[in-house]
């Protein structure tokens, strides 16, 4: 069951968390393709203080000053800092949730409690992968130095599973298996019909 805590929205937040390299963006991209045309499933765009890369999450980029101004204005549903960057989910997600949509977001584990306090319905998905798999993915994307990769791996090893209720997906193996499990979580809350949300 999705916890009925918090105050806002009649929809469901699917909060996707896990270590860098576990494959959160890849699973979200697979879900985005699967639910294309289904207006009841939305993928709010994160704002991040680094440039977007073609092979990475299609986030919106902001300077540190721009990010701080958005945060100070209260225009983030949740925001956090990690790996030297700022990350935020805009409050525009509240409109989608108010219409009963399923909002799929990529978040840090550190803001899950904030989400549970803010929204009525939050389903946490914790994505994991074997350390060797995570290291290979981090090296393949070419975004971090050796030192940064080592720090990320150490942080991943110390990353505790979020408190229940939570669905854990092991993304060490075949992508299609993990994607099927992830899409299954979303589908359990999403209306099957492809119609305008709220219509």
Residue 197: pLDDT over 60: no
Looking at the DSSP bridge assignments, the partners of residue 104 are: 14
pTM for this entry: 0.84
Residue 118: pLDDT over 80: yes
Q: How many Å apart are CA 30 and CA 32, to the nearest integer?
A: 5
- Report the range of poorest mean pLDDT among 42-51, 175-184, 190-199: 190-199
**pLDDT tens digits along 23-65:** 899 999 999 999 999 999 999 999 999 876 655 567 789 999 9
Burial label for 192, CB within 10 Å (0-12, 13-18, 19+), is exposed
Residue in the structure block whose two tokens are 């207006």: 39
């Amino acid at each position: 069951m999705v916890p009925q805590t918090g105050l806002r929205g009649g929809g469901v937040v699917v909060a996707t968390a896990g270590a860098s390299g576990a494959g959160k963006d890849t699973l979200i991209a697979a879900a985005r393709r699967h639910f294309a045309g289904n207006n009841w499933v939305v993928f709010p765009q994160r704002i991040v203080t680094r440039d977007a890369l073609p092979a990475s999450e299609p986030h919106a980029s902001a300077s540190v000053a721009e990010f701080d101004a958005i945060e100070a204005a209260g225009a983030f549903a949740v925001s956090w800092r990690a790996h030297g960057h700022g990350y935020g989910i805009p409050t525009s997600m509240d409109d989608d949730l108010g219409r009963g949509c399923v909002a799929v977001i990529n978040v840090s584990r550190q803001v899950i409690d904030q989400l549970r306090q803010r929204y009525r319905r939050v389903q946490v998905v914790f994505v994991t992968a074997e350390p060797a798999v995570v290291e290979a993915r981090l090296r393949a994307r070419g975004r971090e130095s050796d030192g940064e990769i080592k720090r990320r791996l150490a942080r991943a090893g110390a990353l505790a599973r979020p408190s229940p209720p939570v669905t854990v997906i092991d993304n060490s193996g075949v992508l299609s298996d993990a994607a099927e499990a992830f899409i299954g979580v979303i589908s359990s809350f999403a209306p099957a019909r492809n119609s305008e949300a709220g219509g």
